[in-house]
Structure 1
Amino acid sequence: MSDWRPRLIASDMDGTLLRWDDTVSDATVAELERWRDGGVPVVLATGRPPRWMYRIRDVLRHGTAVCCNGAVILDLESFDVLAEEPVHPDVLRSVTAELRRRQPDTWFAVEYGLEFRHEPIYRPRWDVDAPGVAEATLEEMVAQPVAKLLARHERLSRDDFVALVEEVVEGRATVTHSSSDALAEISAAGVTKASGLATVAARHGVGPEDVVVFGDMPNDIAAFEWVRAAGGRAVAMAHAHPDLLAVATDVTGSNEDDGVAAFLASL
């Protein structure tokens, strides 16, 4: 594959494209611009909601973002939502009720695109006082479709809690995780970064065999498997989660070492 070149570049953000201080290096921006000038689209594929994309838009200026682990496709330039695959209220009510029954100390929050709602006892880790962030009852949160349901437990281990959530969900939704604590991210059934990227790639007339994907956490696994099965490149960061490293075709340097830019330059 020494002469292989992508026709579409897709990258996770946190722990991958972004350094730990939430910035993108000038070298990485320049490398992405070089590929875009050559006609290769750059797509962000992230667990972040659209409301967390304003700063990266200031850096990359245009392109497409697959947000909320595939549930929302966002035009970065216009900030228009191009497509959305929400979790519907019947699934939300059933899953939250069963999780609360099995683990009463499970607390919930939801993403509505540009808004975030959480139970009063749920402890958000970021932008606690940001616009669009507010407290709500569980009944209020599950009364309408959401882009992503978040379930958090403050005492269980991450792996034990995610396993419990997967057991409760039983295929009615997609469960993944991308942080070090016991936080499960729940999307509509079949919705992953892979499904979102497939939609964007098809709009560009590109198949998975011509896509390179960069990532570092289990919520990138579906996208890695999507490109790997077709002959594309699935590139894990040096510090990536072991489950992601197991399905990678390549490994590059860490996000602090501009691993994304280094791999692209090698092509």
Structure 2
Amino acid sequence: MAASGRAKAGVVEQLMRLVASDIDGTILRRDGRISDRTVQALHACEAAGVELVFVTGRPARWLTPLSEQLGHSGTVICSNGALVYDLETMSVVSSEAIHRDTVLEVREIVRGLFPETAFAAETPAEFVMETAFAEPRHQRLLDEVRHGDLEDLIDGDEVVKFMAKIEGITADEYLRVVAPHVAHLVSITHSAVDMTMLEMAPLGVNKAVTLAEYAHALGIAPAQVVAFGDMPNDVEMLAWAGEGYAMSSGHPDALAATELHAPGIEDDGVAQVLERKLGGLRRAG
């Protein structure tokens, strides 16, 4: 059931104390902009005393849209839950890493299934990749990051996100084939819209797990959390939150994870939901 603007069937709408939002495809459009309406709605949440946290697959070094367009200086949950970052102090609050041996084991398993796969890894400090990971349109990466054999580039148990990329099949099919072979070693998902790439985190880590820890530390119950997302890496978060809204413009897996569907990003779906929620807060007050 598409439930834009409505609470889950049979559930009484709870007080909104925390908004947790994905970034790309949820508030950040393909042109790299956050709409003025969305910025205003997010600022209005903070002005109303509602906590705001962003939960993204992005690494900490790619958060400039939040600081430059939104002026956000709070907490961001990065790398699909593996790293928590404080934008105010520009520092890592906490992180979970995939053991180096596990990274190399997963690489061999995936390469056995798809020999043409190229790999890359995020650490809290940098991005490293196999030379083949850079696409022709991204050749400049070769001048900006360390590249070569990952076995030589990864110094210790520091990988917060491990990526595998291929061409010629869809990301859904790639995940369907690979996941059964590595799901005992890592958490695996995908979220890229312009390439076939798998994203792997430490086993048991995803957006929902880290968001739940963050909310608990603030004394906020799941029922008081409103979450937004659009891709498979948002599925657990949308299911965990009291009100988890999948963007109508999002991936079928995200839409299937929750009864609540916000209007698409081009229609400022996040802003529309938050404006309605804030109106309810004002009436209740």
Q: CA RMSD in A?
A: 1.9
Alpha-carbon offset, residue 254 of structure 1: 1.4
Partner of 1:214: 228
CA contact (8 A) 1:89 1:142 kept: yes
The yes-or-no answer on 1:137 pairing with 2:161 is: no
TM-score (structure 1 length as normaliser): 0.92
57-66 vs 9-18, which moves further: 57-66
207-216 vs 241-250, which moves further: 241-250
Q: For 1:21, which of 21, 24, 31 is the aligned residue?
A: 31
TM-score (structure 2 length as normaliser): 0.86
Alpha-carbon offset, residue 18 of structure 1: 0.9
Q: Give the alignment of 1:25-44 within 5 angstroms.
A: 25-44=35-54
Partner of 1:224: 238
The yes-or-no answer on 1:11 pairing with 2:24 is: no
Gaps of at least 5 residues in structure 1 are: none
Equivalents in 1 of 2:206, 2:140: separation in Å?
26
Change in Cα spacing, 1:155 to 1:26, as seen in structure 2 (3 Å) is same
**Structure with higher helix content:** 2
Alpha-carbon offset, residue 207 of structure 1: 1.6
Gaps of at least 5 residues in structure 2 are: 1-6, 278-285
Secondary structure class of the residue paired with 1:149: strand
Q: For 2:110, which of 65, 76, 99 is the aligned residue?
A: 99
Equivalents in 2 of 1:175, 1:3: separation in Å?
32
The yes-or-no answer on 1:177 pairing with 2:187 is: no
Q: Give the alignment of 1:27-66 within 5 angstroms.
A: 27-58=37-68, 59-66=70-77
- Larger-Rg structure: 2
Partner of 1:199: 213
CA contact (8 A) 2:14 2:223 kept: no
Secondary structure class of the residue paired with 1:150: strand
Partner of 2:268: 258
Partner of 1:151: 164
CA contact (8 A) 1:110 1:141 kept: no
- Matched pairs, number: 263
The yes-or-no answer on 1:165 pairing with 2:165 is: no
118-127 vs 149-158, which moves further: 118-127
Alpha-carbon offset, residue 199 of structure 1: 1.9
CA contact (8 A) 1:162 1:182 kept: no
Equivalents in 2 of 1:199, 1:223: separation in Å?
12
Equivalents in 2 of 1:214, 1:196: separation in Å?
15
Equivalents in 2 of 1:198, 1:191: separation in Å?
11
Partner of 2:3: none
Change in Cα spacing, 1:128 to 1:174, as seen in structure 2 (3 Å) is farther
Partner of 1:72: 83
Q: Indicate the percent of aligned positions where both proteins have the same amino acid.
A: 37
- CA offsets per residue over residues 96-126 of structure 1, 9 Å max, x none? 1121122211110001124111111112566
Equivalents in 2 of 1:185, 1:3: separation in Å?
34
Alpha-carbon offset, residue 226 of structure 1: 1.3
Alpha-carbon offset, residue 257 of structure 1: 1.5
Change in Cα spacing, 1:82 to 1:152, as seen in structure 2 (3 Å) is same
Residue 149 of structure 2 aligns with an amino acid whose one-letter code is: T
Alpha-carbon offset, residue 129 of structure 1: 3.8
Secondary structure class of the residue paired with 1:260: helix
Equivalents in 2 of 1:219, 1:126: separation in Å?
24
Secondary structure class of the residue paired with 1:43: strand
Equivalents in 1 of 2:144, 2:209: separation in Å?
27
Secondary structure class of the residue paired with 2:23: coil
Alpha-carbon offset, residue 33 of structure 1: 1.1
CA contact (8 A) 2:37 2:271 kept: yes
Equivalents in 1 of 2:60, 2:120: separation in Å?
16
Change in Cα spacing, 1:173 to 1:202, as seen in structure 2 (3 Å) is same
Equivalents in 2 of 1:169, 1:45: separation in Å?
24
